[in-house]
Structure 1
């Protein structure tokens, strides 16, 4: 009953006309971003962060806007997957397997409609799981000491590469680079300058908002220019909606299974929506067996991955809100936004900033309804957006990033730094070094250092305190396994994903 009361308070925050307007705007913009191949939710949220600062939004409104963009981008990723056989983002890859064959058979409208309904179901299941699990985990986290938090941060770095990461060692290198960047500035414990080189602007450290917009948005723009400049794509013919009520009802078990599996994978740090969509599709294929025509346009092959990746997007918010550890790349960006608003994510956030936490959760429920309402009647508009040449879209995105960053500090130095991060991010991604661990290192590095210092002070310099408690030992063990398992499980999972793609008649 206590949770229900908090949720009602959250609805009181989310349903104000001002916040509702930004939830609708975020859902709409997020869908636009999601349907553009390659951008994805992390880049979408990163691009909109400067806008939140430019408009001077209150913390709860800013978080409602960005979480709505996050949810909208997860919805939008399916559009290009179904119509162009090009995933809007990585989690939407599995949707190509049956979504595109449906479109080739003249059922593009049906595929888009049922995928929107499945996304709604997955998001709803994930948000309900968030409501039930987050308060319990937050109360448990109140028992953590500095040693436990230090071990938890190590666990976050170890798992962020995810089970589908191409090279776990590159993830470690990226995280180390992020921690190194976080040490720039004046040490708050000793007052010592570190790596400032006499540059006054570096005394307060490197603003992670600059790093995020540069590494995500600007580097993505450079990739976009490199690979997609020129004309737009040919406009697709969506056709008429012929989806029957019987077909819709037959997919309900698929939606439930996909939503639950997606939520579980989202809660696990580093697993995320990609794993959620894959295991949901794989399980459904196993459950249906020879009765299905997976890879040839089976409607359940569209429902399963969409329910899975949208369930995972809500699940990834659980560790971010309760422990201050992001469950995915996009939640790492949301974590940065919270910290920039002087809000400390973690168990105390549920008491000190309850209006923000429950306002965001309520906004997720509202946002899922808004997205379902938007996605079905406006799908024709989103389809037409795919035919707009990037040369018209890129200047708008670039303008938002530059104006937003300049409005935060009114410093040209920050713009240079943002561009520098963008160029660095471009080359790092060329080398297949992920940028999300860099952001995580930059965000969690100071807290990790602070907890390490506190633990050593409490133990009079005895390092064994870091693995003394049972909980800390558990975190260390899981972190070690997380570094080793990707070498074993990752290649197997990638082979299965590639095999699934090759088995599809549309993979060529």
Structure 2
């Protein structure tokens, strides 16, 4: 089989392990797929690239899927993408249909995952082949578009989202200026340590692991009150695949929406879930049942949030732009191995591209088998006390950050610094995903901006007259800005109405 020739036993085993660990992270409220990947990223430094991809893809799929469990049993979204799962999943549990709800969600998840995988397989190479001919101006405008999308879907505050992204860009520019090798934006006492800027990995781990744990510690880490939840009560509460007999349109529509939203840089899983759920309700023959334990709503949410996995990988692998905070961390894995994602990635690394596709296949199958046939026992993970798990995670974070550059203590201080920064960011409204993507894309944005000016002898008009692609990208940027302004105005209006 070709899949065994590409992945190998070690890769498949690591993928299996990644799914299992990712499911645990997704199942425990407050711990997400993003945190799981950030914590285990240092381990990939010592692995072959194909093996590390198996582990990380497994963590990604398992983490997103695991969010179904607390959303259904405790009415707490395990991940942002499982927000709408609570609307019908938890009422089903209250009605004694907990096991049925979980199995419906698991089945919808694998369908959405495979649908997005097909879109990834056919769309990413096409986009990459088109992007090969992009000029420096086009690449600069693509990055601006990505940052604009982040701001337009910012949570709560448009200005806050834009500021977060710009702050990330500012921090990314610390270090030497490539054209003259002069230091900039660096305090005098850190000149030697920050010659090449902050190392990406400790920044990632600090923001998404240490910062989140500090927040959880402040709120209290008492274990969830154990409830004797009756997952199955009565004959009608049993699961049957016949539930999906009339859900074909809902599944396809929700998977398409999840994949499409995943393709938009910085949008995130909650937007995919909400969009699919609202459309399912709009087209349903019985919309009044939504929110009261309707499997149709659960199917739309779970197929959409697993559909975003393949969608988020499309801009990452074809354009080098992270689709969400989780795929932003995946960039760190490629950088650790000396591989640059972008238009040339697929043609330059065919084995790795096939490995990603096969890892997604394996991860989805493993996720379905593990969760579907052992969900009664797996559901108990929601009650693991955080005060047992968090100290272990802190040790893993410190060791991983210290070892990534063969024992650089400043990387540990970077971890703690950005962990504290992540905690403060949550307090003052700076949004971490826009900050992170700004941090990752900042240096590239500057590079393509300077290259564009060099090619035009310093003429700024080149950004508007470079060609039809530049015009098209400006249209997208303006549409994104218009959408963000309209959405921000609408949200303020809704808030004022609720206050009144």
Interval containing the TM-score (normalised by the shorter chain): over 0.9
Q: How many residues align?
A: 488
Distance apart, 1:290 and its partner CA = 2.7
1:481 is paired with a residue of what secondary structure? helix
In the alignment, does 2:149 pair up with 1:159? yes
In the alignment, does 2:139 pair up with 1:139? no
C-alpha distance 35-161 of structure 1, shift in aligned 2 (>3 A) = farther
Q: Where do residues 18-57 of structure 1 align in structure 2 (5 Å cutoff)?
A: 18-53=10-45, 56-57=46-47
Deviates most, 376-385 or 205-214: 376-385
Deviates most, 71-80 or 357-366: 357-366
C-alpha distance 491-221 of structure 1, shift in aligned 2 (>3 A) = farther
Distance apart, 1:224 and its partner CA = 1.4
| Cα deviation code 1:45-75 (max 9, x no counterpart) | 112212323xx01122212211211111110
Distance, in Å, in 2 between the alignment partners of 1:182 and 1:271 is 21
8 Å Cα contact 1:11/1:362 also seen in 2? no
Distance, in Å, in 2 between the alignment partners of 1:114 and 1:496 is 34
Aligned to 1:506: none
Distance, in Å, in 1 between the alignment partners of 2:224 and 2:98 is 20
Q: Where do residues 210-289 of structure 1 align in structure 2 (5 Å cutoff)?
A: 210-240=202-232, 242-289=238-285
In the alignment, does 2:5 pair up with 1:12? yes
Match of 1:460 among 445, 457, 461: 457
Aligned to 1:320: 316
Distance, in Å, in 2 between the alignment partners of 1:80 and 1:404 is 29
Distance, in Å, in 2 between the alignment partners of 1:139 and 1:9 is 25
8 Å Cα contact 1:164/1:493 also seen in 2? no
Aligned to 1:503: none
8 Å Cα contact 1:11/1:359 also seen in 2? no
Aligned to 2:340: 344
In the alignment, does 2:401 pair up with 1:405? yes
Unaligned stretches of 5+ residues in structure 2: none
Distance apart, 1:42 and its partner CA = 1.8
Distance, in Å, in 2 between the alignment partners of 1:144 and 1:402 is 40
In the alignment, does 2:172 pair up with 1:172? no
Deviates most, 381-390 or 301-310: 381-390
Q: Where do residues 417-496 of structure 1 align in structure 2 (5 Å cutoff)?
A: 417-468=414-465, 469-489=467-487, 492=490
8 Å Cα contact 1:50/1:400 also seen in 2? no
| Cα deviation code 1:17-49 (max 9, x no counterpart) | 000011001111111111111222222211221
Distance apart, 1:334 and its partner CA = 1.2
C-alpha distance 346-293 of structure 1, shift in aligned 2 (>3 A) = same
8 Å Cα contact 1:39/1:88 also seen in 2? yes
- What TM-score results when the alignment is normalised by the length of structure 1? 0.91
Aligned to 1:386: 382
Distance apart, 1:493 and its partner CA = 7.5
Match of 1:357 among 353, 356, 360: 353
| Cα deviation code 1:232-278 (max 9, x no counterpart) | 43144253471124224233432222112211111122333222211
Aligned to 2:109: 119
Distance, in Å, in 2 between the alignment partners of 1:455 and 1:331 is 27
Aligned to 1:415: 412
Distance, in Å, in 2 between the alignment partners of 1:339 and 1:235 is 44
Distance, in Å, in 2 between the alignment partners of 1:161 and 1:67 is 27
C-alpha distance 337-169 of structure 1, shift in aligned 2 (>3 A) = farther
8 Å Cα contact 2:157/2:488 also seen in 1? no
C-alpha distance 292-369 of structure 1, shift in aligned 2 (>3 A) = farther
Distance apart, 1:374 and its partner CA = 0.7
C-alpha distance 24-179 of structure 1, shift in aligned 2 (>3 A) = same
8 Å Cα contact 2:65/2:106 also seen in 1? yes
CA RMSD of aligned residues (A): 2.1
1:326 is paired with a residue of what secondary structure? coil
